[in-house]
Structure 1
Amino acid sequence: MKQLLTVFAALLLVTAAFAQAPRKVVADKIVGIVGDKIILRSDVYNEILDRQRRQEAIPDNAECYILEQILGMKALVLQAEKDSLLVTDDELEALLDNRIRAFIQMYGGKDNLEQIAGRTIYQIKEDFRQSIKEGKMAENMRDKIVGGLKITPQEVKEYWDKIPKDSLLFYESEVEVGEIVIYPKPSRDLEKLVMEELNDFKQQVESGRQKFETLARLYTEDGTKEVGGRMAINRTEKNWDPTFLNNAFRLKEKQVSPVFKSKFGYHIVYMESRSGDDAIVRHIIRIPKITDAEISEAVDRLDTVRAKLIAGTLTFGEAVNKYSDDENSKFTGGMHPPVTIDQLDKEMVEMMGKTNMKVGDFSKPTTFTDERKKQGVRIVYLKSRTQPHRENLKDDYDRVATRALEMKKQQALEKWFASKIPSYYLMVDSDFTHCANLSHWYQYAARAVK
Structure 2
Amino acid sequence: MKQIFLLFSTVLAAYTLQAQTRKVVADKIIGVVGDKIILHSDIRNSIMDAQRQGQTMPENPECFVMAQALAQKALVLQAEKDSLAVSEEEIEAMLDNQIRQFIGMYGTKDALEQIAGRTVYQIKEDFRQSFRERKQAELMRNKIVSNIKITPTEVKEYYDKIPVDSLNFWESELEVGEIVMYPKASRDLELYAIEELNDFKKQVENGKQKFETLASLYTDDPGSKNTGGMYQVNRTERQMDPTFIANAFRLREGQISPVFKSRFGYHIIQMVNRAGDDATVRHILKIPTITETEINAVIAKMDSVRSRLVAGDFDFGAAVAKYSEAEDSKFTGGMRQCGSGTTFCAIDQFDKELVLSLKDLKAGDYSKPLAYTDERGKKAVRIIYLKTRTEPHRENLKDDYNRVAERAIEEKKAEAIEKWFQAKIPTFHLVIDKQFATCPQLGEWMQNITKNQ
TM, length-normalised to structure 1: 0.95
Cα deviation code 1:6-50 (max 9, x no counterpart) = 33212451x444334774868422211111111111111111122
What RMSD, in angstroms, separates the aligned Cα atoms of the two structures? 1.7
Matches within 5 A, 1:306-321: 306-321=306-321
Instruction: Name the amino acid aligned to 2:289.
Output: K
Q: Secondary structure at the match of 2:92?
A: helix
Matches within 5 A, 1:247-326: 247-326=247-326
TM-superposed CA distance for 1:221, in Å, is 1.0
1:147 maps to 146
Q: Is the 8 A contact 2:12 2:46 kept in 1?
A: no
Instruction: Give distance in 2, aligned partners of 1:123 and 1:256.
Output: 30
Moved more, 394-403 or 104-113: 104-113
1:166 maps to 165
Moved more, 168-177 or 39-48: 39-48
Q: Is the 8 A contact 2:4 2:67 kept in 1?
A: no
- Residues 1:440 and 2:451 are matched in the alignment: no
- Residues 1:242 and 2:246 are matched in the alignment: no
Of residues 412, 419, 422 in structure 1, which corresponds to 2:416? 412
Q: Is the 8 A contact 1:260 1:266 kept in 2?
A: yes
1:59 maps to 58
Instruction: Give distance in 2, aligned partners of 1:249 and 1:423.
Output: 53
Cα deviation code 1:127-152 (max 9, x no counterpart) = 11111111111111111101332211
Matches within 5 A, 1:27-426: 27-222=26-221, 223-336=223-336, 337-353=343-359, 356-426=360-430
Instruction: Name the amino acid aligned to 1:85.
Output: L
1:427 maps to 431
Instruction: Give distance in 1, aligned partners of 2:452 and 2:406.
Output: 38
Q: Secondary structure at the match of 1:368?
A: strand
Q: Which runs of 5+ in 2 are unaligned?
A: 337-342
TM-superposed CA distance for 1:58, in Å, is 3.1
Moved more, 197-206 or 359-368: 359-368
TM-superposed CA distance for 1:59, in Å, is 2.8
Question: Aligned pair in 2 of structure 1 residues 226, 77: CA closer, same or farther (>3 Å)?
Answer: same
Cα deviation code 1:296-343 (max 9, x no counterpart) = 111101111111111112211111111111131123221121101010
Question: Aligned pair in 2 of structure 1 residues 369, 5: CA closer, same or farther (>3 Å)?
Answer: farther
Q: Is the 8 A contact 1:156 1:401 kept in 2?
A: yes
TM-superposed CA distance for 1:197, in Å, is 0.2
TM-superposed CA distance for 1:5, in Å, is 4.2
Q: Which runs of 5+ in 1 are unaligned?
A: none
Moved more, 423-432 or 373-382: 423-432
Instruction: Give distance in 2, aligned partners of 1:343 and 1:64.
Output: 39
Instruction: Give distance in 2, aligned partners of 1:281 and 1:63.
Output: 42
Instruction: Give distance in 1, aligned partners of 2:24 and 2:436.
Output: 17
Q: Give me the identity figure in percent.
A: 61
Instruction: Give distance in 2, aligned partners of 1:327 and 1:90.
Output: 28
Instruction: Give distance in 1, aligned partners of 2:269 and 2:116.
Output: 28
TM-superposed CA distance for 1:86, in Å, is 2.3
Aligned residues: 446
Question: Aligned pair in 2 of structure 1 residues 22, 123: CA closer, same or farther (>3 Å)?
Answer: closer
Q: Secondary structure at the match of 1:57?
A: coil
